Structure 1
């Protein structure tokens, strides 16, 4: 599915690049089974347009989303393009909170996966000292208590306060959320946060005692991840690999 030419708006090169990258995130999330049918969202700020961001058309499966189908809205949830599609108000509430408050978080991803919701329902939350993958989130994940379906605009300030300066947020009894300065950073955070949750659920399902990494080692490994991801270029290499996967599966996300 994609919008016909009469429904498309004229976009800048920067916006078009953002649309393509955001559509790629949706298709990748579908490929890696991180969807909840038509619910949850991935959003991106529109470059050069303060207070405006792109969100998925409500009712579309993530496998269907293309660059041109994404809807441009403002921080009050109003559409500002000629898209005929609807926008999910709950998605607007959660994402606009972070986009409005954080300059760094130009990209925001929220999921309701089986493992993510399972871990969000545990009193202890994510055990970041359980394994090497989880260690990258050591002292880098926050928690927000469940307040109901995110329709109350007053919750936005509390979501922002809960997230703080961390790139990941566990929405208790609800799901996961990650942020990033780029599509690559945001998607990398969610890809491995989801993997950490899957591994935790698998380990706990054995019923055996969990062996945790010592605190000093956990902090050391977290610093190592920061270097490999943000200084050694692993983030860009991973994103390029994801995009090659999409090209092989179906390049129509760019339409």
Structure 2
């Protein structure tokens, strides 16, 4: 299991309002909340780069900004994840239109899938999409994710699949994608990559990391021959026992904070 703090500290952390879900009381509070979210999101882009999850200038992590308007933060198109900062993140609406001014454009193709999910799922405050080698390999396989390792066993009944329809630039794909996603929090985009959603950045990250790690182990296991399948009842128990998804243990918040500390030691410029 992923390491956590003691239960008392974890419960205190959960009781502290998350900036993603806290309702700003006035303009000053809203600005402060957005600033905190910008720092955390920019730091998460740096985490993706540190983990090797970036894809040149492509792919996205989108995050809703609390408030009466349905606005989101997204990476500026044209920058590598190591160049994303709190101040250059771009604010957009559900149609991908820029709110305010930015020196950078937004990749409209990249936001099509995100917009469909943000629009339809109230719990999708954060949506993450990757093209990691392991994730894409499993997405290209006929079997998809196999229930055969420590990490896949923690994702029982959490993963959905959506067939490849080409580059995601057409809004009419949205309803079909949403129908396939249903109430799941993880989506394998066949022949394409992985996607995760969550009520917070930390929750979405914990889900995506676990899925990607399961794909890495599956890819390595394939070189050794057929994998041993984990019984369904054991997988269901593993999913219930998985600490990184448990609100009592921060639902991934401790993990994200630990990785942000690593990023701070490497290059804290994401806070700018």
TM over 0.5, shorter chain: yes
For the structure 1 residues 50 and 158, does the alpha-carbon distance in structure 2 shift closer, same or farther, using more than 3 Å as the test? farther
Query: Residue 62 of structure 1 corresponds to which residue in structure 2?
Result: 81
Query: Residue 180 of structure 1 corresponds to which residue in structure 2?
Result: 198
Q: Spell out, residue by residue over 1:103-136, the C-alpha distance to the aligned partner (whole angstroms, 9 max, x if none).
A: 1110000001111110000111111x21111111
Q: How does 1:1-255 map to 2 (within 5 A)?
A: 12-127=31-146, 129-206=147-224, 208-225=225-242, 229-233=246-250, 235-255=252-272
Partners of 1:142 and 1:166 within 8 A in 2? yes
Q: Spell out, residue by residue over 1:171-225, the C-alpha distance to the aligned partner (whole angstroms, 9 max, x if none).
A: 000000001111111111111211111100000122x221111111111111111
For 1:119 and 1:230, locate their aligned partners in 2 and report how far apart those are by CA, in whole Å.
29
* RMSD after superposition: 1.5
Partners of 2:206 and 2:252 within 8 A in 1? yes
For 2:173 and 2:245, locate their aligned partners in 1 and report how far apart those are by CA, in whole Å.
35
Partners of 2:134 and 2:219 within 8 A in 1? yes
Shift of residue 230 of structure 1?
Answer: 2.3
For 2:245 and 2:51, locate their aligned partners in 1 and report how far apart those are by CA, in whole Å.
23
For 1:232 and 1:108, locate their aligned partners in 2 and report how far apart those are by CA, in whole Å.
21
Q: Residue 155 of structure 2: SS of its match in structure 1?
A: coil
Gap runs ≥5 in structure 1? 1-9
Shift of residue 50 of structure 1?
Answer: 2.8
Gap runs ≥5 in structure 2? 1-27
Instruction: Compare relative contact order (CA 8 Å, sep 6+) and give the higher one, 1 or 2.
Output: 2
Partners of 2:203 and 2:251 within 8 A in 1? no
Shift of residue 226 of structure 1?
Answer: 6.0
Partners of 2:129 and 2:194 within 8 A in 1? yes
Q: Residue 13 of structure 1: SS of its match in structure 2?
A: helix
For 2:164 and 2:99, locate their aligned partners in 1 and report how far apart those are by CA, in whole Å.
31
Shift of residue 170 of structure 1?
Answer: 0.3
Shift of residue 14 of structure 1?
Answer: 1.2
Q: Residue 126 of structure 1: SS of its match in structure 2?
A: coil
Task: Count residues in correspondence.
Answer: 244
Query: What's the TM-score, normalizing by structure 1?
Result: 0.91
Q: Residue 50 of structure 1: SS of its match in structure 2?
A: coil
Partners of 2:243 and 2:249 within 8 A in 1? no
Partners of 1:51 and 1:100 within 8 A in 2? no
For the structure 1 residues 113 and 79, does the alpha-carbon distance in structure 2 shift closer, same or farther, using more than 3 Å as the test? same
